[in-house]
Copies of this chain bind each other. A is one copy, B any other.
Amino acid sequence: MKSLEKYDVARKHPMPFVRLELVLLSVTDGGLQVLLSHREEDPFKGKWGLPGGVLRIDLDASLEEGAQRVSMERLNRPLPNLNQVAAVGGANRDPRAPWAMSVVYRSLVQTDIETSPGKRVQALAWRNVIDVIRTDDLGFDHANLIAKAVDATRQEVRELRFQAGWLPKEFTLSELQALSEAVLATPLDKVTFRRRMEVAGIAAPLEGKTKMIGAHRPAQLYSLTT
């Protein structure tokens, strides 16, 4: 390779084993959930862990694209939003290599979009994040990574920085508030939430469009103004 003829520094030192891990979060009736993958191989065989895969410099043009590829391979779906959580790395972090690092991404998705086990994945399951973090029975440092991803997501929700893909294109303010409450695991005041949304100007009502839910007054539909 031409670049390697010119510079030899890249060959002088052994490089670490680099993986990409995904923290998929979703809101259900049971609150905020995280998607876990059952480990069929050592290390931590039999335990649950984050879906992830090896960075492939022959396939991935960037870390983000690598994360999308891993999502396609493991979960058979792309991710509508992707945010980096952190990079962690050290010796003896992963028995498969003397020195391993992981770049971790998070994505809050809608549960109704199906996620099916892909290559080398036997089973996937949504589990309540609070349970998962409290009873840390996961492999590696994954519980810690999930906690970081949840914190970052909560910070965004607190600041009303809602991302595309978190909800359907058209949604009601009540749905958005319910999502926020589930993510934050705390109730929010309706008046305050609506006024904050209004001044923030991040969602616009869709004139004439309403959503009927039950035997109730129909709700105004909104969409994100990007």
Contacts and interface: CB of A to CB of B under 8 A. Distances in A.
Query: Interface extent on A, as a size class?
Result: 35 or more
A16 B141 CA distance: 22
Contacts of A10: 17, 96-97, 100
Nearest to A1: B98
Contact of A7 (B9, B16, B55, B97): B97
Interface in A55-78: 55-58, 60-63
A11 to B, nearest CB: 9
Nearest to A89: B63
Contacts of A1: 98
A123 interface: no
A197 interface: no
B62 A89 contact: yes
Interface of A: 1, 3-4, 6-7, 9-10, 12-18, 42, 54-58, 60-63, 84, 86-91, 95-101, 103
11 contacts: A1-B98, A3-B96, A3-B97, A6-B42, A7-B95, A7-B96, A13-B57, A14-B57, A14-B58, A63-B90, A84-B87
